[in-house]
Amino acid sequence: MRLPRRARVRTIVRRFAWLAVIACGAPRAPEAPKPVPVSALDVARGEELRPEDTAGVYWVPYQTCPTCAQPAAIAAYVAADEPTARTIVAALRGKLALGLPYVVHGDELGVGPRAILVVVGSFGTRAAAEATATAAPAIGGHRAEAIAVDESQQRDAPESPRYVTVVDRGPPVPAYTKDDMAAARAAVDGGAFATIGDMHAAAVAAIRARPPLCSVRAGELFVVEHDDIQWYEFAPVRCGGTLAYIAWASSLLGHAVIVRDGAGHRLYQVIGAECDSPIIHDWSYDNAGRHDAPDPESGALVASRGC
Per-residue pLDDT of the chain (307 residues; tens, 9 = 90+): 444 433 333 332 222 233 233 233 333 333 333 333 444 444 444 567 777 778 898 888 888 888 888 889 999 999 999 999 999 999 999 899 999 999 999 999 888 889 999 999 989 899 999 999 999 999 999 999 999 988 766 777 677 899 999 999 999 999 999 999 999 999 998 888 888 878 888 999 999 999 999 999 999 999 999 999 999 999 999 999 999 999 999 999 988 999 888 888 999 999 888 777 888 888 999 999 999 854 444 445 444 344 5
How many other CB atoms are there within 10 angstroms of residue 190's CB atom? 6
Q: How far is CA 28 from CA 22, 90, 229, in A?
A: 7, 20, 39
Tell how strand 116-123 and strand 102-105 pair up: antiparallel
Where do the structural domains in the chain lie, given as residue ranges?
6-160
Express each pLDDT in 210-230 by its tens digit.
999 999 999 999 999 999 999
* CA–CA gap between residue 123 and residue 130 (Å, rounded): 9
For the four alpha carbons of 219, 67, 247 and 230, in that order, the dihedral sign comes to negative
Q: At what angle do helices 196-207 and 178-188 cross, to 10 degrees?
A: 130
Closest C-alpha among 193, 205, 169, 195 to residue 301? 195
H helices of the chain, where?
A: 6-9, 40-44, 82-92, 106-109, 126-135, 178-188, 196-207
Residues 6+ apart with CB under 8 A from 283: 266, 267, 290, 291, 292, 293
pTM: 0.80
Closest C-alpha among 135, 161, 142, 144 to residue 73? 144
